[in-house]
Structure 1
Amino acid sequence: MAKTKIEVLNAVIDGHKQGEQLDVDAKSAKHLIAIGYAKEVEEKPAPKKPPAKKKDK
């Protein structure tokens, strides 16, 4: 099954407290979101850093 990243709201899910993020299967994530225990976290790609400037001496 596919994993979905969720953030815990006002609940304790599998020992994880409010604000913690965890990966659960899609079916469980859908249920936890529906009952208001969690919200889905959008995974953003890491920002690309511009190349470092070289110092000329």
Structure 2
Amino acid sequence: IIEGKSGVFIAMPSRKTRAGEYKDVAHPIHPEFRAELQKRILDMYDSGNVQDDPGVEL
């Protein structure tokens, strides 16, 4: 979850290339799935129920 100038958004996992650019290593194929994924993640984030635990189920 990243806080940008126009609000928070989710970023997909990425890796830095030898050229110094960041490329996504995973991303949703369908825009509908991306929207649903982002909605669920941000709803959980906004609710304050997120702990520093990588095992949190959404």
Higher share of residues assigned helix: 2
Instruction: Pick the TM interval, shorter chain.
Output: under 0.3
From the CA coordinates, give the structure whose radius of gyration is larger.
1
Q: What TM-score, normalized to structure 2?
A: 0.27
